Chain A
Amino acid sequence: MPRPLSRRAMLRGVGGAAVSLPFLSAMLRPLQSHAQGTLQKRLVVFFTPNGTVPEAWRPVGSETSFTLPTILAPLAAHQAELIVLDGVDMKSALEHPGGGNPHDVGTGHCLTPWPIVEGASGVGEFGHYWDGSAGGQSFDQYVAERLTAGHPFDSLVWGVEADNSRAIPARISWKGTFNPVRPMQEPAAAFDRIFGSGGAHSAGPEVSRSQRLFVVDAVLEDFQRLHARVGAEDRLRLDAHVEALFDLEQTIRRLDLGDCLLPERVDASTSAAIGEANNAMMAAAARCDLAPVLVHQWGSGQSERIFTELGQTDDHHALSHQPLSDADAVARLTAINRWYAQRFALLLDQLASTEAGDGTSLLDQSVVLWCNELGNGYTHDPSSVPYVLAGRCGGALSTGRYLRPYGRSHGELFAAIGQALGLGTESFGMPDVFERPLTEILSSAG
C-alpha cells in the first residue's frame, strides 16, 4: 500500500510543482461536516519516555484474568477497559535504525513507522539527528486528517517538559516530513488558543470573527506571493506556515463553544500541575468535540527529568543505564514508571467520569494509546514496547484483556486501531515489516 498522502505532499503538488494556494484552499477544506449527535470516536495518545522495567510492568495471569503489577497497578480501577499489549515491536525502527541514537530512532518511529530522514546538518553528537525528521505523517495525524471534518481543530497536542532543543527526540506527532506538531506546554496559552474568549484569538469583543477571517485571508495572499519566488528549502518552511494558516482559518470559521462547559484557565508551572491542566483541557476538548485526535506527551525521548517528587537526584535517563544488578536503580526506575502510570490513570479518570450521552463516557467512545520510544529501558531497545490501550472505541475494541502478540509490529497495531476508528486502514508503515493488522484487539462484533 502506498504511504498516505499528507497534506504537505498535496501542498507540494504532483511532481513537486507548487500548487497555487486558492486551489489548495478549496482542497484543504473538507466538504462534509460531521453530523451532530452521532457517536464521536476519537484517538487519544499518551507518551512517556525512556522505556520501562519489563519485570515490574508485565501483568501476571491469562488473557482475561490477570493482575496488574507494580507499575501498572495504578490503572486497576480501569482494568476492564484496558488492553495490555506485551511483545509488540517497533519493527520499522529495528529494521531501519539509520545512524541514529536509539532515543532519536524510537521517538522518530514512535507513531511514524518509516525510516527517519536526515536534515541539513546530518547526525551529530551521540548519534543525535541535529535537525532530522520522522519519515512521514505520524499515525495520530493520519487519523486527524481523516476524522477532521467539521471540527475546529484536526488535532490538539499537549506536552509536559518536552524538550524544545531537538526535533526528533522531542516530537512524536508529525504532519509530514519536517513538519512536526509542537506540543503545547503552557496551559494558559493553550487555553487561550482553544477556549479563548469568544473563539479563536479575540483580542477583545470588538474583533469579530469576520474581521479575523479577513486578516487571515490577506496574510495567506501575502504568503502566496512570496511562496512562488523562493527556492526548494525555503518553500518547505513556507508550506508549513501556510498549512498552519489554513488550520487557523478553519479554527476561526468553526470554533463555536456554544454552552460547552469549559475547563479552568490555569497558569501552571510545576509539571504535575501542567499535566493536570492538560488532562482537564483534553477532557473538555473531547466533551466539546473540538478535535478527533488528542495527544499528551510527557517528556521527550531520552528525558533527563529528575524525579525530585520521588526523592531522587539522578536523572531518568542516567538511571536507565545503571546495571541491572543495581537494585536501587531498578527500584527508582520502577517508581518513575509507576508515577507515569498514575498520570495516565488521571487522564483515564477524566475521560471515564465525563458522560458522552446514552450512558456512555468519553472513554467508551475513545481509543487511548499509551506509547513509549523504547521497550526495555535498560537495553534501550525498541522491541516489546510497553503499549497499553484503554477505552472501547464505541464498542470496536474488546477490552479487559492482556495480549501477548509477540513479534508483531507497531504498524500492525496502528492499522488495527485505524480499523477500530472506522477508517478501514489496511496497512500502516514500512511494508517490509507489515503482514496484517493486529485485529486481535478488535471485538468480534466490531
Chain B
Amino acid sequence: MRPRPARDPWFGLLSLGLLWACGGPRDTTGRGHAGDEGPGASGSAPEECEVDGPARSPMRRLTPAELDRTLVDLLGVQAGKALAVLPPEQVGGFSNNVDVRTVGADTVSAIAHLASEVALEVTAEPGALLDCPTLFGDVELGAEAEAGETDTGLLMESHVELRSEGYVESVIEIAHGGEYGIEWRLYGTSCAGEGAEWTLWVDGDPVADGLAPAVWSWVGAVHALDAGSHQIRVSFDNDCYLPGTGEDRNLLVDAVRLSGRGLAIGSPDEFSDCVQTWLETFLVRAWRRPVEDPEILSGLVSLFESASAEWGEIAAVRMLIEVILQSPRFLYRVEDSVLGASPGEVVHLDGYEVASRLSYFLWGSMPDDTLLADAASGALQQPDGLQAAAERMLADPRAMEVVELFFSEWFALDHIGHVEKDLDVYPAWTEHRRASFREETIRFIRAVWEEGARFDELLTADWTIADAELADFYGLESNSDDWGRVERDPAHHAGLLTQGSFLAARARSYASSPIHRGLFIRGTLLCHVMSGPDPSLEIEVPDPDPEATTRELLEQHRSDPVCASCHDLIDPPGLAFEHFDGIGQFRLYENGHPVDASVDLTGTDVNGQFDGAAELGLALADSTMVQTCFAQQWFRFAHGRRPSDGDDCEIAETAQTFIADDLDMQSLVLATVASPAFRTAVGSP
C-alpha cells in the first residue's frame, strides 16, 4: 500500500480488495450514533421517547402504483393506466420514498394525459356517473323532404327527386346541444357504371359524403350541434344522363332525422345543483376527506358552469374530473392538520389523515368506505379503533400485494432479473433461472407470511418452495412437478439466504462473491451503512491465482491490517455462504479444495464462530440488531422516507414490541401503525 493523490479515492473499489472508512449501523436506541459495534447492538430497552412524533412529515406524492390502484378504486377504470405512462422511481431501495426526485414536465404531461383519458372514459355515461339520470336523455328530430326546400328537385308523392345537380335542405331547431347523428333517407340510380354521390352539409359546411345505395337507406354522419336552429342539407353533385341507353343518374331523398343519445337535457340550474351534490360525495373519496372550505366547492361548481357555457355540460363534467384528478389534493397526500403548525410542533392527525396513512401503507390505495366511516366517527383517533382497522385491512387480500412489494424492495429482488453468468464456468445456468429464482422467493415469503409470519423463519427455514425443475437445480428431492414445499439439506439452509435470488444475484458472473454477500447482509439485515473509503490510500490488487479458492484470495487482503479493519466486518458473513457457488448451487469443493465456510463474525450483537449458512442464519435471526433493523425497514416503508435521528426512539419501541411478540411480522406491522409517529405529524421549518 502506498499513498496516492487525493483525486483517486475509489481505486479498485469493487475488485477484490478495497479500503473502507467503515460507517456504522444506525443507532436506534435514541442515544446518538453508533460506532462499528454501537449501542444498537445492545438491544437494551429505550427510555420513554422524549418526543412522540416523527422527525419529518413531508407531503407524499402517490407513487405510480398507488395512483394506478387509486384510479381503479375511485372510478372503476382498468388497472394499468397510470403504470403505462409513469415509470416507477426508487430512492434507497423503496419506491415510495418521498425524497424521490420532484415532478418534471414529462411527468406532469403524462398525468394530464392520464386524467384526460380516464375522464373521457368515465363520462361516457354522465347521467350514471353524476346520479342525475333525468338530466340526460335521447333526442330524436326529423322532417320530411319537401319541395320548398330544394332548388331543383321535383316533388313526388312522398319524396324529392334530384334529376340534375342540386340539393334538399331542412332547417331544424334543436333545444339541446350535443353530438347528433344526422341522417338522410335516400337512394341513387346509376349511370355509366357509377352511382350517385351525396354530400351532407351542416350550416353551409360539408361534413360527410358518400355513394348513395340503390335502395332506400339512411346515410349521414355524427356531428356536434349547438342548441339553436341548423341548416341541414344533402346535395347531389354528379349528374349524368346518357340518351342512347337511357341511363339516368339521380338522387332520391325522402326524409332527414337527427338523433342524439345521452344528451344534456336539463336546465343550467338543474345541472349546477346536480354537480354540486355529486361533488360533495365524490370529493370525499377523490381527495380522501370532506371539503371544508366552501369556496373550493363553489369554485369547482363555477368552473363547471363556465365550461358548460362554452362547451356544453358533458364536456364540462369531463373537464371537471380532469381538474380534480390533477389537483394536488388527489396527487399528493396533503395533511391539513400540520399545514398551520409551527416548526417542530407535533400535531395529531385527524381521522381522514390517519385513514389515508393506513390505506396507502397497507393497501397501496385510497381508503374504502368502511375506513372513511371510521375516519368520520373518530374511531381511528382511538388506539382500539386504529388497531381494529389495521387488523381488518391486514387480513384483506389487498394487503398481501403490499407485503410482497415490501419484501421484494427490501430484499432488492429485482437484482436477480439482470444478472448474467459466464456459461463456460456455469453451464447449468439458463435464462429461465432468473424468473424461477424470483418466483421461489415470492412464494416462500408468501408462505412464511401466511403461516405464522415468523421473521426468524425467513433466515432459518430448512425448506423452500420449488417446482421439480428448480428442486433438481438445487439437488433437492421434490414430490411434485408443481410449485410446493421442498425440504432443504438440513446442514445447509438459511431461508431466503440460501435461495438463488440472493446467492446468484450477489455473485460475480464466474464466481461467488463473499464481499457482495457480506455487504448485503451488513447493509440490508444489519442496517450498517458503509461510508466512504480513505481517499489517500490505494490497494494494489493482486492478480487472481486460478488455483486458489475464493476464500484464499480474500485472505490475502485481510492480512493487511488496514484492509482488515473493514473486511473483518464484511467478509465473514459472506464467507459463510461459500458452500454455494455463483449460481446458487451447493458445492463441497472449489478448485479441488474442500470448501471452508467457517467464519468469525464481528461487529454484531451475536459475534462468534459459525460454520456455514445454517449456523449464521440462526445467529442473525437471533440478533437484536437484525431484528431492530427489520423494524427500521418497515418504518421506512410505512413513512416513505429514511429515518432521521429523531425517529430512532420510536423505531426502537416498535422493535421491542416485535421482539416481545415472538418476531411476528404482522405484529410488527401493527406496532408500526400504533406508534405515535404514525398518528402525528411535525410542523415543517
Residues in chain A within 8 A of chain B (CB atoms): 94, 97, 99-102, 119-121, 123-127, 130-131, 153, 164-167, 171, 175, 178-182, 184-186, 189-190, 192-193, 196, 200-204, 206-208, 210-212, 214-216, 218-219, 222-223, 225-226, 229-234, 236-238, 240-241, 244-245, 247-248, 251, 304, 306, 308, 312-315, 317-318, 321-323, 325-326, 379-383
Interface residue ranges of B570-595 to A (CB < 8 Å): none
Report yes or no: A229 in contact with B340, Cβ–Cβ below 8 A: yes
Can you name 17 A-B residue pairings with CB atoms under 8 Å?
A130-B642, A164-B87, A178-B102, A203-B119, A214-B319, A215-B322, A216-B112, A222-B328, A233-B58, A240-B102, A240-B103, A240-B104, A248-B109, A312-B420, A318-B508, A321-B12, A382-B7
Residues on the A chain within 8 Å of B90, using CB: 164-166
Report the bound CA distance from A186 to B530 in whole Å.
Answer: 34
Check B59–A237 contact: CB distance below 8 A: yes
The answer to whether A218 and B323 have CB atoms under 8 Å apart is yes
Smallest CB gap from B644: residue in A: A120
How many angstroms between the C-alpha atoms of A100 and B8 in the bound complex? 12
Residue of A nearest to B422 (CB): A313
Given contacts A102-B10, A322-B15, contact A131 B99 (CB under 8 A): yes
> Quick one: which of B47-88 are within 8 Å of A by CB?
56, 58-59, 61, 84-85, 87-88
- State the Cβ distance, B505 to closest chain A Cβ, in Å: 12
How far apart sit A204 and B224, CA to CA, in the bound complex (Å)? 14
On chain B, the residues within 8 Å of A380 by CB distance are 8-11, 13
Check B116 against A241 for contact (C-beta < 8 Å): no
Question: Which 3 pairs from chain A and chain B are nearest by CB?
Answer: A231-B684, A240-B102, A131-B99
Which of A175, A182, A238 counts the most chain B CB atoms within 10 A?
A182
Q: How far is the CA of A192 from the CA of B59 in the complex (A)?
A: 30
Interchain CA distance A380-B18 in the complex, whole Å: 14
| Interface flag for B398 (CB, 8 Å) | no
Closest chain A residue, CB of each to CB of B541: A323
Chain B 97-117 residues near chain A, CB threshold 8 A: 97, 99-110, 112-113, 115-117
Interchain CB contact under 8 A, A381 and B7: yes
| Contact partners of B436 in chain A: CB under 8 A | none
Q: Which chain A residue lies CB-closest to B538?
A: A379
Chain B residues near A211: list those with CB within 8 A: 307, 311, 315, 319
Tell me, rounded to whole Å, the shortest Cβ–Cβ distance linking A198 to chain B.
12
Interchain CB contact under 8 A, B10 and A245? no
Q: Say whether B683 faces chain A, with CB atoms less than 8 Å apart.
A: yes
- Give the shortest distance, in Å, between B425 (CB) and chain A (any CB): 9
When distances are taken between beta carbons in the complex, the residues of chain A under 8 Å from B420 are 306, 308, 312-315
B9-66 residues with Cβ-Cβ distance < 8 A to A are: 9-15, 23, 56, 58-59, 61
B113 touches A244 (CB 8 A): no
Could you say which residues of chain A place their CB within 8 Å of the CB of B343? 231
Among B23, B84, B113, B307, the most chain A Cβ lie within 10 Å of the Cβ of B113
Q: 18 other contacts beyond A181-B105, A203-B120, A314-B420, with CB at 8 A cut-off?
A: A120-B642, A164-B88, A192-B113, A193-B110, A201-B113, A206-B315, A215-B322, A218-B303, A226-B329, A231-B339, A234-B58, A238-B328, A240-B103, A244-B109, A315-B420, A318-B508, A321-B15, A381-B8
Of listed B11, B311, B532, residue having the most chain A CB within 10 A: B532
Give the CA-CA distance A212 to B326 in the complex, in Å.
12
Measured in the bound complex, the distance between the Cα atoms of B89 and A345 in whole Å is 31
B 283-332 contacts with A by CB, 8 A: 296, 303, 307, 310-311, 315, 319, 322-323, 326-329, 332
Residues of A within 8 A of B328 (CB): 222-223, 226, 238, 241
Which of B89, B93, B340 gathers the greatest number of chain A CB atoms within 10 Å?
B89
Q: For A119, what are the chain B residues with a Cβ–Cβ distance below 8 Å? A: 99
| Cα(A383)–Cα(B13), bound, Å | 19
A121: contacting residue among B9, B103, B641, CB under 8 A: B641
A182, A237, A308: the one contacting B106 at CB < 8 Å is A182
CA distance A97 to B5 in the complex (A): 13
A180 and B101 contact, Cβ closer than 8 Å, known pairs A130-B92, A164-B88: yes
Q: Which residues of A contact B23 (CB under 8 A)?
A: 125
Report yes or no: B323 in contact with A230, Cβ–Cβ below 8 A: no
B268: interface (CB < 8 Å): no
Q: Give the residues in chain A near B683, CB-CB below 8 Å.
A: 231
B121 to chain A, nearest CB (A): 9
Among residues of B, the one whose C-beta sits closest to the C-beta of A120 is B99
Contact between A101 and B10, CB atoms less than 8 A apart: yes
Q: Which residues of B contact A130 (CB under 8 A)?
A: 91-92, 99, 642
